[in-house]
Amino acid sequence: MPLWLVFHPEGTFEDVASRKALSQDITKIYTEINLPAFYVVINFIKMSVGQTWVSGEQKTEKPFIRLVAEHIAVHLPNSDEVYKRTTTRIDQALKPHIDDKGYDWEFHVDETERRLWKVNGMIPPPFNSEEEKSWVRENRPVPYPGAY
């Protein structure tokens, strides 16, 4: 699953429409490579004014958005080209919601060991397997042989 944490100051991502739009664009990153949409979890974490510090100084003059993505379902091959393609795709998804608004921002992606991940008590099926394709079609975890 991709888990995204969006740390944002008051006054940004306050309404459902802005959260939904960003969430849908982030989700597309993963559905474009045939992952189930329900794998994508995004948590918006509002930070009070003065809670974010950059360079040892409070970041208050302009909104600063910090994003952390945890990739678990699929790990990227160790290739500069693949990393660049991935970060460029993330940039494209974030641009209208953050960059185009003039906010300062930063993101990073961690890759977590897939063997330490379960969904509703099930071991998720291998990437692009028939079982995972079933999860994509159903948009929910579906029991399969070997899931428990």
For residues 122 and 54, what is the distance between their CA atoms, to the nearest angstrom? 40
Output the pLDDT for position 64. Answer: 95
Mean of pLDDT values over 99-121? 96
pLDDT band at 36 (very low <50, low <70, confident <90, very high): very high
Confidence at residue 78, expressed as pLDDT on a 0 to 100 scale: 96
Could you tell me the two tokens for 53?
Answer: 């510090």
Q: Which two tokens stand for residue 12?
A: 């940004």
CATH number for the domain running over 2-117:
3.30.429.10
CB under 8 Å, gap of 24 or more: what pairs does 119-128 form? Answer: 119/1, 119/39, 121/148, 122/147, 122/148, 123/147, 123/148, 124/1, 124/73, 127/35, 127/73, 127/74, 128/34
Cα angle, residue 111 at apex, residues 108 and 117 outer, rounded to 5°: 130
pLDDT of residue 98: 98
Sequence spans of domains, the chain: 2-117
Confirm if 75 and 114 have CB atoms less than 8 A apart.
yes
Q: What is the pTM of this model?
A: 0.95
pLDDT tens across 44-71, in order?
999 998 899 999 999 888 999 999 999 9
| % of residues, the chain, pLDDT over 70 | 100
